Amino acid sequence: MKLYNKNILWSFMFLLAGAAGVTIQYPFLSTCAFKGSTVTLPCSFTPRKSFSRDGREIPLKVVRVRWCKNHEICHSTTPSVFDSNSTTNDPGYEYLGDLKGNCTLRIRNIKTSDEPTFRFRMEADDSAGHFTNRTGVKVSVVEGSRMRIKSSSDVTELRGGQSVSLQCTSPFCTFYHLNITWTKDGHALPETGPALQLGPLTSEDSGNYTCGLKTNSGSRSEPIRLQVEAEENPSTLPLIVGGVFGFLLVLIVFILVFLLIQRKRAAGSRAARGEMELKRDDNVYSSVLPAGDAGHQRTETSQEDDGISYASVQFKHNKHKKKLEEEADSIIYSSVVTKG
Tell me the C-alpha distance between 179 and 173, whole Å: 16
Q: Does 25 bind ligand NAG (CB under 6 A)?
A: yes
CA 53 from centroid of its chain's CA atoms = 67
Tell me the C-alpha distance between 130 and 294, whole Å: 146
Q: Output 150 or 176, the one with its CB closest to ligand NAG.
A: 176
Distance of closest approach, residue 150 Cβ to ligand NAG, in angstroms? 18
Burial of 202 (0-12, 13-18, 19+ CB in 10 A): middle
Q: Does 97 bind ligand NAG (CB under 6 A)?
A: yes
Binding mask 199-218 for ligand NAG (x = CB under 6 A): --------xx----------
Tell me the C-alpha distance between 190 and 180, whole Å: 10
Q: Which stretch binds ligand NAG (CB under 6 A): 24-32, 138-146, 262-270, 322-330?
A: 24-32
Which one among 85, 152, 163, 269 touches ligand NAG, defined by CB under 6 A?
A: 85
Distance of closest approach, residue 185 Cβ to ligand NAG, in angstroms? 4
Distance of closest approach, residue 17 Cβ to ligand NAG, in angstroms? 7
Which one among 19, 63, 189, 230 touches ligand NAG, defined by CB under 6 A?
A: 63
Distance of closest approach, residue 102 Cβ to ligand NAG, in angstroms? 4
User: Does an H or E element contain 119, and which?
Assistant: strand 117-124
CA 151 from centroid of its chain's CA atoms = 15
Tell me the C-alpha distance between 122 and 18, whole Å: 11
179, 215 Cβ separation under 8 angstroms? yes
Q: Does 44 bind ligand NAG (CB under 6 A)?
A: yes
Sequence-ordered list of residues with C-beta below 8 angstroms from that of 55, at least 6 positions apart, any chain: none
55-76 in b/e form (b: 16+ CB < 10 A) is: eeeeebebeebbbbbbbeebbe
Dihedral of CA 217/219/222/225: which sign? negative
Q: Which stretch binds ligand NAG (CB under 6 A): 97-105, 111-119, 142-150, 161-169?
A: 97-105
Distance of closest approach, residue 183 Cβ to ligand NAG, in angstroms? 11
Q: Which stretch binds ligand NAG (CB under 6 A): 95-103, 256-264, 284-292, 329-337?
A: 95-103
Q: Measured in Å, how far apart are the chain's first and last C-alpha atoms? A: 195
Q: Output 44 or 89, the one with its CB closest to ligand NAG.
A: 44
Q: Does 72 bind ligand NAG (CB under 6 A)?
A: no
Tell me the C-alpha distance between 47 and 21, whole Å: 7
Distance of closest approach, residue 5 Cβ to ligand NAG, in angstroms? 24
Which one among 96, 237, 248, 253 touches ligand NAG, defined by CB under 6 A?
A: 96
Q: Does 135 bind ligand NAG (CB under 6 A)?
A: yes
Which residue ranges make up the site for ligand NAG (CB under 6 A)?
18, 23-26, 29, 40, 44, 63-64, 85, 96-97, 102, 104, 133, 135, 177, 179, 185, 207-208, 225
